[in-house]
Structure 1
Amino acid sequence: MAGSGVISDVSLTLINVLDTALGSLFPAPAPQVILHDLQGVISTNPATLAVLLYEVTEDASTRNRPMQRAVTAGGRVLRKPLMTLILRYMIVPYAGDRLTEQQMLGRAMQTIYDNSIFSGPDLRGAAAPAGLVGSSDTLAATLDPLSLEERTRVWHAIQKPYRLSICYQIRVANVEPTIDVPTDLVRSRNFDQAVPVGE
């Protein structure tokens, strides 16, 4: 479980995995992998694999879960369940020539396919409980099958011409709530005798 820094920790984890993979594919200088908003000039020397976080949504399958009971130093509390997030990334190569860019994308896809579950030593960022490092969290990365039209909308939103790119979603990033509701133990109960209707 992590705090509000979990989004940046997921991004750092993805960048680290891709950076390691690309470093073994190309001779020096190896391509760099950076978190980027795709605005401004992006270096092609060395080649760059830009990672854009373009959407963060709540995992709908985990909504409406009941409150959880917990014991803290201050007593028993009711706590909201973890907020679970799905992060969507676009990965875009910049190398100055199309063959190198396609090789970079192929290596990125191969790496994420081979290592689609990030956990334990793969995790980067802040230390638990504030971050992912040392936590028991597991992140699953899957290719996001966006249509060409959907992908074009992302490019239109950032006001850039379309480029070859791939999209992934990473789930589930858990965010721990910060508010606890104190609750007491049940110490007594009352029974009311039922009276049939109409009597």
Structure 2
Amino acid sequence: MSGHLALNAVSGVLRDLVVRACAGDPVLGGLIRDKGDVSLANPTETAAQSHQRISLWLYRITENEFLKNLPAPEPGRVSSLALDLHYLVTPFTGNAENDQVLLGRVLQALHENASVYVSRPADPVVEEIRVVFCRLPLDEITRIWEALDEPYRLSVCYLVRVVRIDAERLRADAPVLEVTTGTGTGVTP
């Protein structure tokens, strides 16, 4: 069951994957050492921070059309909201060659971890997600950069599916599943 914390949990897992893959890589020479080097902010904000080396920006959320009309997991519950998350991954090392090496390592790490189990013990978030490399047409990726009012930078897109956000409330027309009857004592006619 996943709640409203699911989006943040998925972003955190992706960030952790990148840090684990890059932190000990001798070729990267310490470009990514910890979570502080990986930003979840948009590329414009990340570029302003000199210590952050890569942006994993959740730029779009769409409803998964294939799971939209599945029945609720429990009788009387509202169906889960099934989402696809779209991430733009952009390196910011200050050097074109380092950008390519860093992006190559991130591509490798996400490819090797195409199926990830997301679980946080303190939160009601449990999901198995698929991390899929997206081939966006040039015009669509250009529109993203134009919306940021930034010149195009080397970047790639990933689609993460399926993240579910379960409803907390019961349906108003939920069927009655159990009835308890009994007699009281001391009732006067």
- Fold shared by both chains (TM-score > 0.5): yes
Contact 2:72 2:80 in 1 (8 A): no
- Unaligned runs of at least 5 residues, structure 1: 71-77, 188-199
Report the Cα distance in structure 1 between the residues aligned to 2:93 and 2:60, rounded to whole angstroms.
25
TM score, norm. by length of structure 2? 0.82
Q: How far, CA to CA, are the matches of 1:47 and 1:63 in structure 2?
A: 37
Give the TM-score of the pair, scaled to structure 1. Answer: 0.78
Q: Could you say what secondary structure the match of 1:42 adopts? A: helix
Q: Aligned pair count?
A: 172
The letter for the 2-side match of 1:34 is: S
Change (3 A) 1:125 1:94: farther
Which of 30-39 and 169-178 deviates more? 30-39
- Whether 2:62 is the aligned partner of 1:57: answer yes
Decide which moves more: 51-60 or 61-70.
61-70
Structure 1 residues 68 and 118, CA gap change in structure 2 (3 angstroms): closer
Q: Is the 8 A contact 1:13 1:125 kept in 2?
A: no
User: Is 1:144–1:167's contact at 8 Å kept on the other side of the alignment?
Assistant: yes
Please tell me the residue identity of whatever aligns with 2:146: H
Structure 2: unaligned runs, 5 residues or longer? 180-189
1:40 & 1:67 partners in 2: Cα distance? 39
Match runs of 1:1-199 below 5 Å: 1-25=1-25, 26-28=28-30, 30=32, 32-40=37-45, 42=47, 46=51, 48-70=53-75, 78-119=76-117, 123=118, 127-129=122-124, 132=125, 135=126, 137-181=127-171, 182-185=174-177
The code of the aligned residue for 1:51 comes to: L
Q: Percent identity?
A: 26
Amino acid in structure 2 at the alignment position of 1:3: G
The answer to whether the Cα contact below 8 Å between 1:54 and 1:88 also exists between their aligned partners in 2 is yes
After alignment, is 177-186 or 52-61 more displaced? 177-186
Compute the displacement of 1:143 (Å): 0.3
Residues 120-160 of structure 1 show CA distances to partners (whole Å, capped at 9, x for unaligned) of: xxx3656342xx3xx3x201000011011111011111111
Q: Kindly tell me: are residues 126 and 90 of structure 1, through their superposed partners in 2, closer, same or farther at Cα, counting changes over 3 Å?
A: farther
Report the AA paired with residue 19 of structure 1: V
Name the Cα RMSD after superposition: 2.3
What is the rounded CA distance, in whole Å, between the counterparts of 2:31 and 2:44 in structure 1? Answer: 23
Q: Compared with structure 1, are the counterparts of its residues 3 and 96 closer, same or farther at alpha carbon in structure 2 (3 Å cutoff)?
A: same
Q: Relative to 1, partners in 2 of residues 1:124 and 1:156: Cα closer, same or farther, differing over 3 Å?
A: farther
Aligned in 2, Cα 1:97/1:62: closer, same or farther, shift over 3 Å? same
